[in-house]
Amino acid sequence: MTEQHQGIEMTLFSTEEMSAVFANEAHVRSMLRFEAALARAEARAGIIPHEAAKRIEASCKEEFFDIAALYREARKAGTLAIPLVKVLTRRVEGEAGKYVHWGATSQDVIDTAMMLQMREGIDLLVAGLLEIGAVCAKWSEQYRHTLMVGRTLLQHALPMTFGLKAARWLALVTRLSSELRERRAQKIALQLGGAAGTLASLGEKGLVVGAYLAEELQLPAADMPWHTERDRVVEIATSVGVVAGAMAKIANDLVLLSQSEVGEVAEGRAVGKGGSSAMPQKRNPVDTTRAMASARLAIGMVPVLLSGMVQEHERGVGGWQAEWAAIPELFCTTAGSIEGVREALVDLEIDPARMRENLDLTNGLSMAESLTLALGVKLGRGEAYRLVQEVCQRVVASGKTLRQEVLEDHDIQEHLSSDEIDLALDPKNYLGSTDALIDRALAGYQKILQ
Amino acid sequence: MTEQHQGIEMTLFSTEEMSAVFANEAHVRSMLRFEAALARAEARAGIIPHEAAKRIEASCKEEFFDIAALYREARKAGTLAIPLVKVLTRRVEGEAGKYVHWGATSQDVIDTAMMLQMREGIDLLVAGLLEIGAVCAKWSEQYRHTLMVGRTLLQHALPMTFGLKAARWLALVTRLSSELRERRAQKIALQLGGAAGTLASLGEKGLVVGAYLAEELQLPAADMPWHTERDRVVEIATSVGVVAGAMAKIANDLVLLSQSEVGEVAEGRAVGKGGSSAMPQKRNPVDTTRAMASARLAIGMVPVLLSGMVQEHERGVGGWQAEWAAIPELFCTTAGSIEGVREALVDLEIDPARMRENLDLTNGLSMAESLTLALGVKLGRGEAYRLVQEVCQRVVASGKTLRQEVLEDHDIQEHLSSDEIDLALDPKNYLGSTDALIDRALAGYQKILQ
Amino acid sequence: MTEQHQGIEMTLFSTEEMSAVFANEAHVRSMLRFEAALARAEARAGIIPHEAAKRIEASCKEEFFDIAALYREARKAGTLAIPLVKVLTRRVEGEAGKYVHWGATSQDVIDTAMMLQMREGIDLLVAGLLEIGAVCAKWSEQYRHTLMVGRTLLQHALPMTFGLKAARWLALVTRLSSELRERRAQKIALQLGGAAGTLASLGEKGLVVGAYLAEELQLPAADMPWHTERDRVVEIATSVGVVAGAMAKIANDLVLLSQSEVGEVAEGRAVGKGGSSAMPQKRNPVDTTRAMASARLAIGMVPVLLSGMVQEHERGVGGWQAEWAAIPELFCTTAGSIEGVREALVDLEIDPARMRENLDLTNGLSMAESLTLALGVKLGRGEAYRLVQEVCQRVVASGKTLRQEVLEDHDIQEHLSSDEIDLALDPKNYLGSTDALIDRALAGYQKILQ
Amino acid sequence: MTEQHQGIEMTLFSTEEMSAVFANEAHVRSMLRFEAALARAEARAGIIPHEAAKRIEASCKEEFFDIAALYREARKAGTLAIPLVKVLTRRVEGEAGKYVHWGATSQDVIDTAMMLQMREGIDLLVAGLLEIGAVCAKWSEQYRHTLMVGRTLLQHALPMTFGLKAARWLALVTRLSSELRERRAQKIALQLGGAAGTLASLGEKGLVVGAYLAEELQLPAADMPWHTERDRVVEIATSVGVVAGAMAKIANDLVLLSQSEVGEVAEGRAVGKGGSSAMPQKRNPVDTTRAMASARLAIGMVPVLLSGMVQEHERGVGGWQAEWAAIPELFCTTAGSIEGVREALVDLEIDPARMRENLDLTNGLSMAESLTLALGVKLGRGEAYRLVQEVCQRVVASGKTLRQEVLEDHDIQEHLSSDEIDLALDPKNYLGSTDALIDRALAGYQKILQ
């Protein structure tokens, strides 16, 4: 295939860095890393001569291989391992060549290479999430007291602050980062089993070689070969998919806040960004839109991997091979979704005045509950509730504010002074545990940074 | 992005031809085709000067554009149309430049370009299916009488012929080809609506321009702009997904027939194909495996497109943009699945002797029903059934063949002569409508070839 | 299973009618319809005695069967057909009993029963869509000239009318109804093939019996048995999935229009609907939310069916059986999505004043393109564009309206009279083909009603 | 809805126990548990009178509620919490009634109830997995040395033992059980935030109430309210989906081993199970087929939940509500897949003789690698390899066994004695680390049992 066939997802819906981690070249490089380490491990275990290991290692260099040709051969051979081992063996020459890939099966090298790439991929994802966290942490403090309305089912509900909104996103990316790190620690593992998972050609020394190889690659050894038990891979993948879903949530919130009628945030201006020559008022949400599209693509890979778990006996027919494309695509598009959110956040224009304006849009009715509580202390909950409900109905009917209607209500004024009313109707007095929750989110984020 | 980031799905799970149809370059070319045709249509409608149209058309050539730079800009701008129109306008220069993209919105050009590409893509898919059909048609005749066992739940059931199996695949690809052609005729359509779907900047002439533009591109005009009603796109996509599912069915049947224990077919031998240096007996199913993996990836795109149908008001945020990657990937991997099946079939080694051997594996018990029918004519159905069931139980217990046990059963021999028994136990006499069904499949295929 | 285990999707995310069509009882009833018709067809073909057919038919009544017991047995037997045929045979008694299910396989009766149910299901879906169409058609007329803003990427773009919005929905449900009807006409078909798809036990008469049976059930005969070629089923299913996706689009538009900050529509008030005791201002979008949730569930079934197409040889292991639940769930939840949209629409409160107010929110900037066109006639496009862009920048900076800024711009006033300016800035003069498009949508709907 | 509308997935593709955990009744019961505990917690925190808490608790009994009526109301109200709180409030009466659901929002009670049910659900899933583990553990020992062929891409590869196959399944269910337990420990959590996630109506005491409520329900408190950050829920769900995928893998292996041509295992016989009256030889794989169908349905729910993560601001529109059906269905069908595998395993008939027979099917070629190793010691790897490859080609050509051809090869006999040849060709000498791996799997399982 020539450069001409470059697909769009790598161009628009990924990042340079992640695309590099999962490029065909990177896969070959990881496979060569496996072959070199295997030779070293087997030399340590006394299975192959040290000299042979050295000669193999010396040939395990990407620049010796014609990547495009390898992939062309892989199409015929069924796996990339077959042409790669063939070319490597030829290059090593002589008796040492015979020890190339000794005791391993194609799937050992491919699965291990993919694990090495996924480990790098996870690190990139976590780094991106933590950058988002840094912005959210800053805002949690900065907008801690900036009032905005909380919206349920896209209807105004109660007051909250933009700092709390940022803190919720912060807690989210903190949890996602922890989760990815746990996956990295627990699920990334070496694959080594030989053709039937018995390590037969390594005789008695199979597990020793496995242990040495794990050391060489700084990968945990698995309890067992896992050629057709894909729980590790898919558990990593689903956690990555959850990250994509979470990015889409944040991006969608930003898009909703950017609506012309809401206008509480807007993506930063930049030359060539989100504009329209015909419509100068236009500020399209570009980064967030890209984040949402990327996340959709990422999520699409998860059921491919899940249903691909049905792998036959000791080597799958189709389910395994689909992973070769599905995992790179999942990581790349998830990276794209993180990057889209990150780019949107770093330049985001935030409009606290508009937030306050929107909060007041329902004429103060979002403070009805607060008023009921204040009255309840004096009157009992039942009576308070009845009175406030009546006032609220008048607000809806008259179009006046809740404050105006309360000040015209003699029953209420009998029990609450004008100051008490103002206190009860001020949104900043009705924020409950907002502050404490922001502190928790900040503390949680600080903790994973260490 | 550089060439280095080439992804695996384009390399292993697509075809050269389909990847070319959906490459970034091809998308730009299709967009330029739209812009040139739009200018011509508007000149015909008297909206822009003919001279301007000519100058625009002269600039709508892929070679004038730096594709990679356009995609880089698209990342910032939100769509590829914005930088493309900007560069095109600059190139046209002067007053004529102002008429570039006149009255159209970004989505008009992108959707129409994608429709042009999908039309080409469908043609490639149909061509591939018909090639599979050609092989199956040949086999339907050639193996019309070649006995094999029919398997239900992977258990032996009744005799059939390999010709019938091929005829079922033939009827399947015939139906799929018809379906794709209908989709092409009914769902491929022009997109033209302007920013809000009103064609406002074309004044009274919006529908006329639409009609002329449809003519210029030889695309059907749509009843309405369909920017956020994606039924057309998704109905095409799901039919493509069904093709992928069907390819996986055929590929899976081939893999099952290739099992070491079954051995009725094997993928053709070729240098470097499906072998294993350590295990000379090995004939791995390579093309079919690739077909199955490709189909899994294709199917993964369908829910992305379906759930992406929720597009907001007059332009979607995320759902639409995800299509830009999901549609190319769907077409490419479906092409990969067709190609895998086609390659497997053209060189397939078929072993009629092994088919017959496997048919006899259950000692003739698959002929029990046939025997009951023959006896029933003489004895009544009820009594016949009772007798045959007893004999069958003896077969299972003794390990002898049904024929042996029948010849030792005096009750049966009282009613059936030795010749009648042989007739009743011969699988080739128990094929029902096999012949007629093969004829139907052949006739159906001939019909769509015309 | 007892009543206690009723699941939520049948309760909240379906309709009574559709749940009845796909209830276990309805499936048994459809299977009995097949068995009775099969007996009649075989009697007509001279394969079984007419008397036996009559006795079989007399026993094919739902009330003779303990549905719960049948399903319990099905769990063990592998299909519902086995216990059903066993009980039916026992009930018919004597020699006639032996002719029950003659020549058919379990999958023949189950697939045909499902086809009968899907046919009914499609009719219900179409009826629901046409009811939505009726409301949209009424609104297309009624709000033909009601101005509102068109929104792209949730940003204000250009003026349009609410009548056009309704017309787009109308055209959508019209297309979906046509599509479902075509699917009904082309894909619904009889299944009859016997255990291996050869119709062996019907001897020479397999195709005749098939033709008679098709007549009896008023179902088209298929070209071939299609036990493991599921294209028909999945093509129906994907079109149903597209309906669900489309309903989610309409529902989502309604939810977005209902936002507190937008307020252009609201779901109708009803006792117990969408309220909140604590928050009297609250009007939650209930029906649309249910529509969106239902659609999500429906879409989830499509990949289950697509990936289930990989069915082994002559009878699938898992893929087929999953259809038994996936198809009912797909139809039920899609019906739920239609019903949610329908209920939302019939009582929808529409606020044209708010629509107009929102249109003016960007100070008339959505009319910039219109102004450019008017000026262009006098000045040439290039100069007009330059002037308007400057004015627009002043609007954004000053917060004044476009009209105010234009009236303060001497360059523009040199070329356009005050009346011409008013004309150019009035959104109702910038609606392009809106009227014609509405007419098209209405005509299309009228046509499918006939 | 009446009992008539019972759907099939509850009947065939779930278990009694899991269906009970996720039945509508169980959901109401869990919600009542929340309301009672909330009242107690608020009394402890001094927010509501102890007497009120007692009266509320006394009314939180399932038998006081008309479940069907509640769900009917929920359809209109938008959530089940609204009618439930209304009925509960009415039942409690008087001033105490005003304290029902105090400070909580609908989503608090629904999410927490679902968490309680998921916790129970996880326990059932783990119990089922451990039962499968028990069978596999027994077999790992019992068939530790029972030779069978390892199959890659469904082709014979190398010898292994059935004990190792069982050990791989054992290690799989062990890992899945651990994973589910970790999910239970880390992701199951209380939801409490009030309408906007601020806990405003609890004043300063929001977090204290949260802590008490967590204690009362023995649920971990969450770091933050998580109304629209669904990572917890979806991470649980994806792990359950992975269980379903793993069950399908085991079930599929069993189906493949049960094929007529393979015959190494068969599902146990039982009256009414998997038979066919017409075909007495038939032993259909019933439990495994059900397991595979159930798993397909389960996997279908995962993308519904993932794409449903995009939940708007402080309460989702559609994504959240879809969970109400998707989570129960996911747990129920996953339970169905576990149960299917469990039932298949407990009665499985295992045929060691047939395993051995199949191992010998390729005339001993699976021992070629072993022979090369033995020869290599004497001759050097290169020369050994060349000699063995030649012999293997003769085996393929002649149809003789590898042993026969080796005994006719003078070159080989020069270097290996007849005893050495027999040693090298005996599969039981070529099992590598099989024994050690079995021990590991057994140890891992023992560990999680403690």
Whether B93 shows a pLDDT value over 90: the answer reads no
Banded pLDDT at B380 (limits 50, 70, 90): confident
Q: B209 Cβ partners below 8 Å, 6+ apart?
A: B38, B41, B42, B45, B47, B103, B192, B199, B202
Rounded to whole angstroms, what are the CA distances from C410 to C142, C366, C414, C416, C426? 41, 21, 6, 10, 20
**Are B6 and A1 a contacting pair at CB < 8 A?**
yes
Contact B290, D165 (CB under 8 A): no
Of B23, B317, B325, nearest to A9 by CB-CB distance is: B325
> Tell me, what DSSP letter sits at residue C228?
T
B265-266 and B349-350 as β-strands: parallel, antiparallel, unpaired?
Answer: antiparallel
In whole angstroms, what is the distance from residue C209 CA to residue C45 CA?
6
In whole angstroms, what is the distance from residue B100 CA to residue D48 CA?
70
- Catalytic residues of A, by residue number, are 276, 315
**Selected residue of B149, B151, B153 to mutate for chain D interface (largest D Cβ count, 10 A):** B153
In whole angstroms, what is the distance from residue A311 CA to residue D248 CA?
9
Chains adjacent to B (≥3 CB pairs closer than 8 angstroms)? A, C, D
* From A414-428, B90-104, B341-355, D277-291, the region with the lowest mean pLDDT: D277-291
**Are C11 and D4 a contacting pair at CB < 8 A?**
no
A155-161 and A147-152 as β-strands: parallel, antiparallel, unpaired?
Answer: antiparallel
Query: Using CA atoms in the order D180, D182, D187, D190, what is the torsion angle rounded to 10 degrees?
Result: 100
Whether A345 shows a pLDDT value over 80: the answer reads yes
Chain D nearest C-alpha distance from A250 (Å):
8
| Nearest C-alpha in C relative to D68 | C11
Which of chain A's residues have a Cβ under 8 Å away from the Cβ of C153? 255, 284-285, 289
**Are C256 and B312 a contacting pair at CB < 8 A?**
yes
Which of chain C's residues have a Cβ under 8 Å away from the Cβ of B202? 432-433
pLDDT digits (tens, 9 = 90+) for B291-350: 999 999 999 999 999 999 999 999 999 999 999 999 999 999 999 999 999 999 999 999
Bridge partners of residue C266, in order along the sequence = C349
Residues of B with a Cβ under 8 Å from any D Cβ are 149, 151-158, 255-256, 258-262, 278-285, 289, 303, 307, 358, 361-363, 365-366, 368-369, 372, 389, 392-393, 395-396
Told to judge if D276 belongs to the known catalytic residues of this protein, a careful annotator would answer yes
**Are A279 and B23 a contacting pair at CB < 8 A?**
no
| Nearest C-alpha in C relative to B158 | C196
Choice among D72, D90, D269, D276 that is catalytic: D276
In whole angstroms, what is the distance from residue B5 CA to residue C69 CA?
59
Contact D318, D305 (CB under 8 A): no
**Are A310 and D292 a contacting pair at CB < 8 A?**
yes
Which of chain D's residues have a Cβ under 8 Å away from the Cβ of C270? 76
Cβ neighbours around A71 below 10 Å, total: 20
Question: What is the set of domains in chain C, with CATH numbers?
Answer: 3-356 (1.20.200.10), 362-429 (1.10.40.30)
**Are C259 and A155 a contacting pair at CB < 8 A?**
yes
pLDDT at residue D409 in the model: 92
How many contacts, defined by CB atoms under 8 Å, are there between C and D?
Answer: 235
**Are D10 and C7 a contacting pair at CB < 8 A?**
yes
> Tell me, what DSSP letter sits at residue A152?
E
Chain A nearest C-alpha distance from B429 (Å):
36
Whether C153 shows a pLDDT value over 60: the answer reads yes
Cβ neighbours around D178 below 10 Å, total: 16
Q: Which residue has the tokens 């792990």?
A: D239
Q: In chain D, what percentage of residues exceed pLDDT 70?
A: 95
In whole angstroms, what is the distance from residue D85 CA to residue D107 CA?
12
pLDDT at residue A276 in the model: 58
pTM above 0.95, yes or no: yes
Q: What is the mean pLDDT of residues C31-59?
A: 97
Whether D10 shows a pLDDT value over 90: the answer reads no
Residues of C with a Cβ under 8 Å from any A Cβ are 149, 151-158, 255-256, 258-262, 278-285, 289, 303, 307, 358, 361-363, 365-366, 368-369, 372, 389, 392-393, 395-396
Residue C204's nearest CA partner among A199, B429, A98, D169 is B429
H/E stretch holding B72 reads helix B67-77
Banded pLDDT at B98 (limits 50, 70, 90): confident
Residue C115's nearest CA partner among C201, C185, C196, C16 is C185
Give Cα B47 to chain centroid, integer Å.
Answer: 43
Q: D66 Cβ partners below 8 Å, 6+ apart?
A: none
pLDDT at residue C377 in the model: 81
Average pLDDT, chain A: 93
Choice among D91, D151, D315, D440 that is catalytic: D315
Residue C324's nearest CA partner among B138, A6, D10 is D10
**Are B239 and C242 a contacting pair at CB < 8 A?**
no
pLDDT digits (tens, 9 = 90+) for B112-155: 999 999 999 999 999 999 999 999 999 999 999 999 999 999 99
**Are D8 and C1 a contacting pair at CB < 8 A?**
no
Rounded to whole angstroms, what are the CA distances from A164 to A174, A438, D19? 15, 6, 39
Banded pLDDT at C5 (limits 50, 70, 90): very low
Of A154, A158, A392, nearest to C255 by CB-CB distance is: A154
Whether D390 shows a pLDDT value over 60: the answer reads yes
pLDDT digits (tens, 9 = 90+) for D211-227: 999 999 999 999 999 99
Dihedral sign of CA atoms B257, B260, B266, B272 in order: positive
**Are A154 and C282 a contacting pair at CB < 8 A?**
no
Whether C3 shows a pLDDT value over 50: the answer reads no
In whole angstroms, what is the distance from residue D118 CA to residue B271 CA?
54
pLDDT at residue B377 in the model: 80
**Are B153 and D284 a contacting pair at CB < 8 A?**
yes
pLDDT digits (tens, 9 = 90+) for A139-193: 999 999 999 999 999 999 999 999 999 999 999 999 999 999 999 999 999 999 9
**Are A365 and C285 a contacting pair at CB < 8 A?**
no
Q: What is the mean pLDDT of residues A202-230?
A: 97
In whole angstroms, what is the distance from residue D314 CA to residue C282 CA?
14
Which of chain A's residues have a Cβ under 8 Å away from the Cβ of D369? 200-201
pLDDT digits (tens, 9 = 90+) for C91-129: 997 889 889 999 999 999 999 999 999 999 999 999 999
Whether A29 shows a pLDDT value over 50: the answer reads yes
Rounded to whole angstroms, what are the CA distances from B13 to A14, A18, A74, B225? 20, 21, 11, 34
**Selected residue of A224, A330, A355, A370 to mutate for chain D interface (largest D Cβ count, 10 A):** A224
Choice among B276, B307, B398, B433 that is catalytic: B276
Contact D78, C288 (CB under 8 A): no
**Are C282 and A157 a contacting pair at CB < 8 A?**
yes
Residue A35's nearest CA partner among A74, A95, A85, A91 is A85
Q: In chain B, what percentage of residues exceed pLDDT 70?
A: 95
Alpha helix (H) residue ranges in A3-147: 8-12, 16-21, 24-44, 50-59, 67-77, 81-92, 94-97, 106-142
Which of chain B's residues have a Cβ under 8 Å away from the Cβ of C256? 312-313
Choice among C151, C175, C181, C315 that is catalytic: C315
Q: What is the mean pLDDT of residues D303-310?
A: 98
Tokens at C134, concatenated: 């009726």
Q: What is the mean pLDDT of residues C242-256?
A: 98
pLDDT digits (tens, 9 = 90+) for B225-256: 999 999 999 999 999 999 999 999 999 999 99
Chain B nearest C-alpha distance from C4 (Å):
33
Greater model confidence, D392 or A240: A240
Task: Quote the Cα angle for D88-D91-D95, to 5°.
Answer: 95
Q: DSSP characters for D391-413? A: HHHHHHHH---HHHHHHT-HHHH
Banded pLDDT at D238 (limits 50, 70, 90): very high
First-to-last C-alpha distance (Å) of chain A: 45
Q: What is the mean pLDDT of residues C223-251?
A: 98
Bridge partners of residue B161, in order along the sequence = B147
Rg of the Cα trace of chain C? 30
Which of chain D's residues have a Cβ under 8 Å away from the Cβ of A102? none
In whole angstroms, what is the distance from residue D336 CA to residue D330 CA?
10
Give Cα B387 to chain centroid, integer Å.
Answer: 48
pLDDT digits (tens, 9 = 90+) for A62-120: 999 999 999 999 999 999 999 999 999 999 978 898 899 999 999 999 999 999 999 99
| Nearest C-alpha in A relative to C152 | A284
In whole angstroms, what is the distance from residue C136 CA to residue C250 CA?
11
**Are A155 and C393 a contacting pair at CB < 8 A?**
no
Chain B nearest C-alpha distance from D402 (Å):
11
pLDDT digits (tens, 9 = 90+) for C279-317: 555 678 999 999 999 999 999 999 999 999 999 999 999
Greater model confidence, A163 or B8: A163
pLDDT at residue B4 in the model: 38
Chain A nearest C-alpha distance from D4 (Å):
33
Q: What is the mean pLDDT of residues A357-380?
A: 89
Contact D75, D11 (CB under 8 A): no
Greater model confidence, C2 or D372: D372
Contact C427, C362 (CB under 8 A): no
**Coil vs helix vs strand at B148:** strand
